[in-house]
Amino acid sequence: MALFALLAGFFCVASLDFAARAATTERVVVNRYSGLAIGGFDPVAYFTESMAIEGLPDFEAREAGAVWRFRNEGNRASFVAHPEIYGPQFGGYDPVDLGRGVTYPGNPRFWVVAGQRLYLFGREDNRDAFAAEPARFLKDAVARWPGLEQGLAQ
């Protein structure tokens, strides 16, 4: 009985992980239930505060089919004026995994600002590798992104 429970638990977790990855088909990574981009973190704060800071419901904007939250009106205004600068590159997908041909959503707690652009990573080790050699990983990600992006929902 214990073996059955252990196997059932394993397959349940494995299927949830697969379902989460398989359901990631939007061009900007959003929470499917709330519609929040990058987990509700303020994309401008990565640049101005050098920190991952959660935004507030009082300061929201809609862009690219997602709801973005900000910590103050100034950050919201900056983003609305230049979403291409402040929004995470590749729609918030991990650029290291993109270079491998996989769309894996980035975690807003694993991030790097490189070349005045924000990159999010699915795993801490991907972030660390990218931070050491951004140009190496960006070359592959940039080359594969157009084809991968076409397979994502609008």
Alpha helices in 1-154 (DSSP H): 2-22, 45-48, 73-81, 83-86, 95-99, 124-132, 134-150
**Number of neighbouring beta carbons within 10 Å of residue 101:** 10
**Are 79 and 108 members of one domain?**
no
Residue 154, pLDDT score:
57
pLDDT score for 52 = 97
Whether residue 115 sits in one domain with residue 139: yes
10-14, 28-32, 103-107, 141-145: which range is least confident on average? 10-14
Q: Give the three-state DSSP class for 27.
A: coil
- Does the pLDDT at position 50 exceed 80? yes
Asked if 76 and 63 count as a contact pair (C-beta separation under 8 A), the reply is no
Same domain, 80 and 46: yes
Beta bridge partners of 69: 60
pLDDT at residue 22, as a whole number: 35
Average pLDDT of span 16-41 = 72
Q: What confidence score (pLDDT) does residue 27 get?
A: 83
Q: What share of the chain is helix, strand, coil (3-state, %, to 5)?
A: 50, 25, 30
Extract the tokens encoding 133: 């050699």
The reply to whether 36 and 75 lie within a common domain is yes
pLDDT at 1: 59
Q: How far is residue 8's CA from residue 40's CA, in Å, rounded to a whole number?
A: 33
Q: Which residues lie below 8 Å from residue 52, measured CB to CB, with a gap of 6+?
A: 41, 45, 46, 108, 109, 111
Domain that residue 151 falls in: 88-154
- Please tell me the pTM assigned to this model: 0.82
| Residues 119 and 107 sit within 8 Å (Cβ to Cβ) | no
The pLDDT tens digits for 55-103 are: 999 999 999 889 999 999 999 999 999 999 999 999 999 999 999 999 9
Decide which of 85, 104, 128 is a domain's last residue.
Answer: 85
pLDDT tens digits for 100-151?
A: 999 999 999 999 999 999 999 999 999 999 999 999 999 999 999 999 998 8
Domain count across the chain: 2
Q: Are residues 42 and 64 in the same domain?
A: yes
